[in-house]
Amino acid sequence: MALSEFNLIERFFCQQRVKNLSTQLGIGDDCALLTLPSGYQLAVTTDTMVENVHFFAGTDPAQLGHKLLAVNLSDLASMGAKPVSVSLALTLPTVNEDWLAAFAQGFLDLANRYHVDLIGGDTTAGPLTLTVHALGLVPQGKALTRSAAKVGDFIYVTGSLGDAGLGLKIKQGYVCHHPDDALQRFNCPSPQVEIGLALIDIAHACIDISDGLAADLGHILQKSQVGACLDWEALPLSCSTQDYIADTGDWLLPLTAGDDYELCFTVSPENSAHLSVPCHKIGIIEAQSGLRLRRSGGVQTLAMKGFEHFS
């Protein structure tokens, strides 16, 4: 990394003091160095956000910094992993110091909330593209995977479904009477880190809802070689999303819209009595493959897909 880039990162991102015991050497060398505790596995994830694909040009940089980190912490949460440290690869068309300062603030505020250290990265010139790589710790053998769902498990989700998708519709021009909550969900999602940690030894399979419930639950069903039936009446929908559906007829929104970053997980009937996290039971894992929805007195099959690039 060249001197000026190095200074750029030093200036905006090194205000942060080391907060995580594992960080032995942070930003400023060829590599960061971590000492990890024994008895844990390292959970590793990467997510990229590209201007005009994942976010609109002109997006508030503080919100963008927050969201970029949130989507990565959400992946850790879905494995039941405690976040430890992150690296940031920033590709920027120009160096706008105000933009960078706000972006760094949004990013670091969320990092600080979870005692996550920014341990390195790369700054390059080019079209605005942001990649975070996140590391977390999960007790050895306890990670929540996509492949662990069992027939008979109850299916749960946290929060409400489709609000971020509604936020996107509002950004695209849909007129909503009370847009603030939906916009907040789209702009500043909250990773469900605490809930992921609390699901260890309770849940079987878990995933975060980034591409829509049908697509993400679909990953669990495929990896676990099972099927599922959801109950429309049980889906947690905000008043705004209910109004949107009544207004437009687009009832698929909460099933297919991405960006919710809530957790979807499965729990055995026995363990469901021990569930102590705020969540909603929305269906059951079945032996028959495929994803079904009980709605208006009938059962229909849902495509297991949501938002796709290159589709």
Give the annotated binding-site residues for Mg(2+). Answer: 30, 45-47, 75, 122, 208, 211
Binder to its own copies among 20, 63, 131, 187 (CB under 8 A)? 131
Is residue 119 within the footprint of its own copies (CB under 8 A)? yes
Q: Which of residues 133-192 bind its own copies (CB under 8 A)?
A: 133, 135-136, 138, 140, 143, 145-147
Q: 7 in helix, strand or coil?
A: helix
Q: Please, what is the minimum distance in Å from the beta carbon of residue 306 to its own copies?
A: 7
Q: Which of residues 42-61 bind its own copies (CB under 8 A)?
A: 42-54
Question: 275, exposed or middle or buried, with CB in 10 Å at 0-12, 13-18, 19+?
Answer: middle
Please say which residue, 218 or 236, places its beta carbon nearer to its own copies. 218
Please write down the HEC assignment for all residues of 74-92. Answer: HHHHHCCCEEEEEEEEEEE
Q: Please, what is the minimum distance in Å from the beta carbon of residue 101 to its own copies?
A: 16
Is residue 87 within the footprint of its own copies (CB under 8 A)? yes
Binder to its own copies among 10, 15, 19, 33 (CB under 8 A)? 33
Please say which residue, 91 or 272, places its beta carbon nearer to its own copies. 91
Q: Please, what is the minimum distance in Å from the beta carbon of residue 127 to its own copies?
A: 4
Please say which residue, 146 or 185, places its beta carbon nearer to its own copies. 146
**For residue 208, what are the contacts with CB-CB under 8 A and spacing of at least 6?**
74, 75, 77, 78, 191, 192, 216, 261, 262, 263, 264
What DSSP line would sit under 239-270, residue for residue?
Answer: HHHHHHHHHH--TTHHHH------EEEEE-HH
Beta bridge partners of 207: 264
